[in-house]
């Protein structure tokens, strides 16, 4: 899942980029409101973490202008207890949730997962395709009765494929959603990771759920599709 972090406190931003990356999120970071607005409007993020007191444009204006522009990406606002703004204002102005600084990292991750779940009706809490099951909140994957351990990156890739099951997704779409924007590596890395996933979720079960669509990308479908 791809996250835009709009935060001007460098040390906090660094810690969040590192921590969320370890949780399997692809995080892009910008440090002023104007840039945050532009990025959130131009790119398909799954969720935006938005500070309030920001250079160039404050978080309230960013949220309001995004909603005015018809951008409905879920927004988690970061508020300060001693701020001049009321926390309830955040929700009035278009944020979906707020978190008061200082916060615990695990709470932030739980809130992000909750936002992603309720973001749209096609985002159920637990994803199922045939007997393959992925629970983003519990971070578990199983096929039938058997648990399948995945690395954070494998998990993020499978989550993206499952959220788009039945549709072909290109390598570039996968890179955009599963790897952060500043990733400049070889797109063939996607192939490598698809290979890892097949070895874990398909091969041991005699399944071929992740198909290669030549020249187009990958498709996760039913066994008999």
Enumerate binding residues for Ca ion (CB under 5 A). 8, 51, 53
Residue nearest to Ca ion (CB): 53
Q: Which of residues 51 and 202 has its CB atom nearest to Ca ion in the complex?
A: 51
- Looking at residue 40, the DSSP 8-state letter turns out to be H
To the nearest whole angstrom, how small is the minimum distance from the Cβ of residue 100 to Ca ion? 13
Q: Burial code of 48-59, b = ≥16 C-beta within 10 A, e = fewer?
A: bbbbbbbeebbb
To the nearest whole angstrom, how small is the minimum distance from the Cβ of residue 60 to Ca ion? 12
Query: In angstroms, rounded to a whole number, what is the distance separating the alpha carbons of residues 221 and 150?
Result: 19
To the nearest whole angstrom, how small is the minimum distance from the Cβ of residue 5 to Ca ion? 12
To the nearest whole angstrom, how small is the minimum distance from the Cβ of residue 217 to Ca ion? 39
Query: In angstroms, rounded to a whole number, what is the distance separating the alpha carbons of residues 56 and 149?
Result: 44
Inter-axis angle of helices 188-197 and 152-163, nearest 10: 90
Please choose, from the candidates 79, 141, 113, 89, the residue with its C-alpha nearest in 3D space to the C-alpha of residue 3.
Answer: 113
Query: Cα-Cα-Cα-Cα dihedral of 164, 70, 66, 19, to 10°?
Result: -10
Q: Which of residues 41 and 56 has its CB atom nearest to Ca ion in the complex?
A: 56
Q: Which of residues 80 and 207 has its CB atom nearest to Ca ion in the complex?
A: 80
CA–CA–CA angle 221, 212, 215 (5° rounding): 130
To the nearest whole angstrom, how small is the minimum distance from the Cβ of residue 51 to Ca ion? 4
Q: Which of residues 46 and 51 has its CB atom nearest to Ca ion in the complex?
A: 51
Q: Which of residues 101 and 211 has its CB atom nearest to Ca ion in the complex?
A: 101
DSSP 141-168: EEETTEE----HHHHHHHHHHHHTTTSE
Q: Which of residues 51 and 159 has its CB atom nearest to Ca ion in the complex?
A: 51
Which residue in the block uniquely carries the two structure tokens 């669509």? Answer: 213
To the nearest whole angstrom, how small is the minimum distance from the Cβ of residue 110 to Ca ion? 22
């Amino acid at each position: 899942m791809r996250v835009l972090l709009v935060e001007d406190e460098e040390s906090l931003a660094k810690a969040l980029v590192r921590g969320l990356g370890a949780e399997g999120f692809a995080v892009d970071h910008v440090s002023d409101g104007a840039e945050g607005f532009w990025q959130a409007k131009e790119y398909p993020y799954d969720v935006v973490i938005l500070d309030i007191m920001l250079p160039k444009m404050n978080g309230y204006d960013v949220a309001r202008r995004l909603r005015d522009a018809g951008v409905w990406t879920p927004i988690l606002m970061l508020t300060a207890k001693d701020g001049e703004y009321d926390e309830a204002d955040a929700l009035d102005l278009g944020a979906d949730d707020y978190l008061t600084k200082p916060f615990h990292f695990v709470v932030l991750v739980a809130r992000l997962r909750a936002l992603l779940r309720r973001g749209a009706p096609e985002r159920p809490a637990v994803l199922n395709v045939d007997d393959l099951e992925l629970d983003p909140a519990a971070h578990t994957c199983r096929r039938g009765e058997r648990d399948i351990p995945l690395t954070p990156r494998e998990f993020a890739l499978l989550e993206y494929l499952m959220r788009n099951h039945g549709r072909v997704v290109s390598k570039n779409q996968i890179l955009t959603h599963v790897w952060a924007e500043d990733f400049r590596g070889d797109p063939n890395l996607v192939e490598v990771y698809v290979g890892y996933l097949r070895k874990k979720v398909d091969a041991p079960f005699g399944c071929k759920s992740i198909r290669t669509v030549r020249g187009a990308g990958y498709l996760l479908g039913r066994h008999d599709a």
